[in-house]
Amino acid sequence: MKTLLRILARLYPAAWRKRYGAEFEALIEDARPGLGGALDILKGALAMQVTSWTPSRVLALSAIAGVLIAIGIAFTRPPKWASTAVIQTDGPAPDRVQTVAQTALSQNALLKILQTSDIYRNNLKTLPIEDVLELFKRDIQVSLAPGDKGNIFQVRFTYGDPRKAQQVTQALADNFIESNFTRGGPEAFRLVEVANLPQQPVNPAFSGKIATAGLAGGLLLGGPFAFLLYRRRRPPQ
């Protein structure tokens, strides 16, 4: 207990210990506090540390805490992988793709992929099938290929398993081509790039963006506190 109390007494700010340290230790020797007293010393040390903080220290600590919390949260998120397949149309893609998507991404078509690909297994245990299909739809992106003349579009699917992401993306791309064919579309759809196997997750545990967001969040929360501290400590005019 003696050692613990000595360690706790060292948690006080250095300047405070220089002034009161010896007499504080003498008090601890005389009073022989128990666990309650140890907690009281810890509380006192923390309070004294906080009162000795300067506005710049508050800002620096909140920024560091923000970055650490953001990284901590990022590490708890499961990684997600995005696979992309590219399809070319003979004519302008936008209108035709929208029409074909009604069949290619219909409830029935998605349900078939859901059943054959064994995805969203945990969600299927807890949610109704309609909600799982909504989740599935949210993870699908159909867009015109960047920088293209308008006759190439890409199908992208994001999931927590890179192989499943690739498998489902390919099934979705096949759905588009088949649906266009069965709908008797005047322009053919051709698969230009098969679904790729993603090598990097789309939400890496650590990135500059995450660190910047944490830094900004920390400064935003610590800023008002630092300002109040500055106003309080400023000598009267």
When the beta carbons of 20 and 225 are compared against another protein, the nearer one is: 20
Q: What distance in Å separates the CA atoms of residue 176 and residue 170, rounded to the nearest whole number?
A: 10
Name the DSSP letter for residue 88. Answer: E
Look up residue 120 and give its two tokens: 């969203």
Q: What distance in Å separates the CA atoms of residue 194 and residue 64, rounded to the nearest whole number?
A: 44
Minimum CB separation of residue 9 from another protein in Å reads 8
When the beta carbons of 31 and 73 are compared against another protein, the nearer one is: 31
Dihedral angle sign, alpha carbons of residues 97, 155, 174, 192: positive
Minimum CB separation of residue 158 from another protein in Å reads 52
The b/e string for 6-34 (b: 16+ C-beta within 10 A; e otherwise) is eebbeebeeebbeeeeeebeeebeeeebe
Minimum CB separation of residue 46 from another protein in Å reads 9
Minimum CB separation of residue 19 from another protein in Å reads 8
When the beta carbons of 41 and 210 are compared against another protein, the nearer one is: 41
Binding site for another protein (CB under 8 A): 16, 20, 22-28, 30-31, 33, 36-37, 39-45, 47-48
Q: Which of 226, 221, 236 is nearest to 66 (CA)?
A: 221
When the beta carbons of 44 and 160 are compared against another protein, the nearer one is: 44
When the beta carbons of 7 and 47 are compared against another protein, the nearer one is: 47
Can you tell me whether residue 157 is helix, strand or coil? strand
Minimum CB separation of residue 65 from another protein in Å reads 24
